[in-house]
Each structure stands twice: as structure tokens, then as C-alpha cells.
Amino acid sequence: MLSTLESYAAAVVLAAGLGVVAERLNQPTVVAYVVTGLLAGPAVLDLAGASSLTDGLGELGLVFLLFVLGLEVDIGDMKRLLKPMFAGATAHMLLVGGVGFGLATLLGFGATEALVIGLAVMFGSTAVAVKLMSDNDMLASLPGRLGVGLLLVEDLAVVVVLAVVSAGISLSSLGVGVGRAVLFSGLVAGVSLALSRYMPRILGSTEAAGQRFVVYSSAWVLGFAYLSEIAGIPAELGAFFAGVSLSGFPGSSEITERVRPLSELLLAVFFVNVGLGVTAEQLQSQAVAAVLFSLVIVGVKLVSWLGVLKVLDFSAETSFKTGVSLSQVSEFALVLGAVAASDSVGLIGGEVVAFLTVSAGLTMAGLSYAIVGVDRLFEVGRPLLES
């Protein structure tokens, strides 16, 4: 293995190179970063390994990911979209989670491991779906707007599931996690009201604020993360609420623009670190099972969305295009897996993380091409879908 500096340099260069390749192949950079970790880590070349530094930077990546997610929450959209979308998205997540749990059990995982897998695969990838729909001019279409609304519901569910998994999966942890989240939401609402009056004075004009947006907003999110951990709430949940509290601030788009590069850098470290933590033995033992699982779960997700959207009275074309866009296993599967495998939680081992890593990578990569060719796919399946 290389020295610490050499290993970090090799990983960064490899990640940058694979990122370029991923862009050319119309693939999510998340896949490139995980592959970087697999190649550089003990699974293949053994050039680098996970360390306390990469673990810490990866944790910061999760904090800033949830912060940016909170910043992008539009309260108006939530009021308008959540009510009609909530029932459909919830039914879909329960079905997919149940099937994921059953499949994982059949593949030989224990009850707790299967439950984590079921929870992890419930969600579609907001980052991947929105980017690819934007690249293919789908966001302004009905399937695009519908997909964004459904992803919003799933993103909110991610926050609750993160709280539950971080506390250890049980009915009591569910009640405690949700209860604390509600109490923390009330605190954030009060602070948000105060911010709407005093934040402009703190930051000054957008033009004059400059780098203060990054410094102050970073202090804000890390402060919320610290307070949430003191209160027994996951730091990521506090970061999400920190973002929500600033989402209505006139300069929120400027904050998002300036913080996103830092968030993406730290997230790159997180996803590389996920790959670094997978050994060759774990990868070999879980690869075949993960491939089979991925094929089934994508099919289940697509059929589930077709059924849910048909009940909501959308056309076959809208249902199919929306379903294809949302049927990958999200990067949040890796986030939940990493949290569940952490020393402080300890619900799963490295084999499950390897399983989720392969499943997420395969589905994100495969459905990226499906989204690009969704019009052709619909024409091929039109007789069956409209029957």
C-alpha cells in the first residue's frame, strides 16, 4: 500500500479520470466515485484504504448533502405536491421495502440485515433522476414534474429512515426518532422566523457578502449538526433542518450555489470511502446475489410505479416514463448502509455494504441509459402498457 499522501493522490487522480469517463458515457459520477474506491482499495489494487480522515470527511459529506437537500425544499411545492403524492409514494415505498426485505431473506441475510436492505432500496435517486431528466429535456414535461414531486416525498422519508437507522431499528427508535424530529422541526421553525428578520443584516447584500455565504452557512449547518447530536438526533437530520430554515431566505440560491462545490467534493470522498471499505472477498461473495437482486428490484419498482400512477389516473406513457426515471436504487442506499455499518450503530457488516454497493451501482448505471432511450422503450412496450 502507498503512503497516506500517495494513496490520497492516487485516489483523487483516479476519481477525476473516471468522472470524465462517466460523463462521456452519460453515467452518474456517483458510480465513478464508488468504482474508484473499489479499484484503489483492498478489493482490487490495494493502493489505499479507509482511514479516520476519509471517514471524517465522508461524514461531513453526508452533513452537507442533507443541508443542500434542505436548502432546495420549496415550502410552497411541499404544500401543493405532498398531499396528492404522499399516498402513492408511501404505498410504493412500503411495497418495494417489503419485497426487498423478502428477497434479501431468501438470499440468506438475517432479519436485521434484510430490513436494512429493504429500507435502503425503497428510494429512487433524486440526484441521478433530476440530472438525467434535465439533460434529456424531461423536467418541464408532466413525467418530469410528477417525478420531482414523488422524489420530494421520498427525500422526506429518507430523513426519517436515517433517524431510525441511526438510533437502531426498533419500534421504540421509530417513535423516539420521529418525536425528536418533530420537536427539532418546531425549534427550526422558530429560528427560521428569526432568520427571516436578522439574516439580511448579518450577511449584508448578496454582492457584498461574497465568501461570507460559505463561511456563515457552513457554521450554521455544522452548528445545527452539533446541536442535533447533543439532542440525540443524527447530525444529518440536523443538517437537513438547517437547510430548510434557510430555504425561504432571499439569498438561499446564492448559498446553494456557493456551498454545492464543497458538498460535492466531500460527497466524492464519502462514495470513494464506501468503495475503499469493500474487500475482494466481500465483493466476490455478494456480486452474483446483488446482480440478481438488482434485476428483480428494478422490475418491482417499475411495476409498482405503473400501478400507483394508474390508480392516480395518469396515462400509460406518463406512468412509464416516470417509473423508468425513478426505479434505480438510490445513492441513499449507500448512505444508509454506511450509517448502519458504523461502529456506533453496528446493525450490518461489510458484506451487506458490498451488496448494496453493487446493487446501487448497477441500477444507477443501467437506468441512466434507459432514461436516455425512454421514448423508444415506450414505443416498444406501448401495446402491452396500453392494454
CA distance 176 to 275: 32
Highest mean pLDDT among 45-49, 53-57, 99-103, 367-371: 99-103
At residue 257, the pLDDT reads 82
CA distance 24 to 140: 24
At residue 183, the pLDDT reads 67
pLDDT-based confidence at 233, cuts 50/70/90? low
At residue 305, the pLDDT reads 92
At residue 170, the pLDDT reads 56
Summarised one tens digit per residue, pLDDT across range 195-219 is: 656 665 665 554 445 566 677 788 8
- Average pLDDT of the residues of the chain: 79
pLDDT-based confidence at 59, cuts 50/70/90? confident
Summarised one tens digit per residue, pLDDT across range 273-295 is: 888 878 888 888 888 999 999 99
Is the pLDDT assigned to residue 369 strictly greater than 60?
yes
At residue 334, the pLDDT reads 84
At residue 194, the pLDDT reads 64
For residues 89 and 10, the model is more confident at 89
At residue 11, the pLDDT reads 78
At residue 302, the pLDDT reads 93
pLDDT-based confidence at 370, cuts 50/70/90? confident
Summarised one tens digit per residue, pLDDT across range 132-176 is: 666 666 656 777 777 777 877 787 788 778 777 876 665 555 555
At residue 243, the pLDDT reads 82
At residue 361, the pLDDT reads 85
Q: Are 378 and 319 in contact, with CB atoms under 8 Å apart? A: no
CA distance 256 to 252: 6
At residue 325, the pLDDT reads 84
Single out the residue of 211, 218, 269 nearest to residue 246, CA to CA. 218
CB burial string 46-60: b at 16+ within 10 A, e below:
ebbbbeeebbebbbb
Whole-model pTM: value is 0.76
CA distance 290 to 33: 19
CA distance 229 to 234: 6
Summarised one tens digit per residue, pLDDT across range 66-79 is: 788 778 766 666 66
CA distance 41 to 7: 9
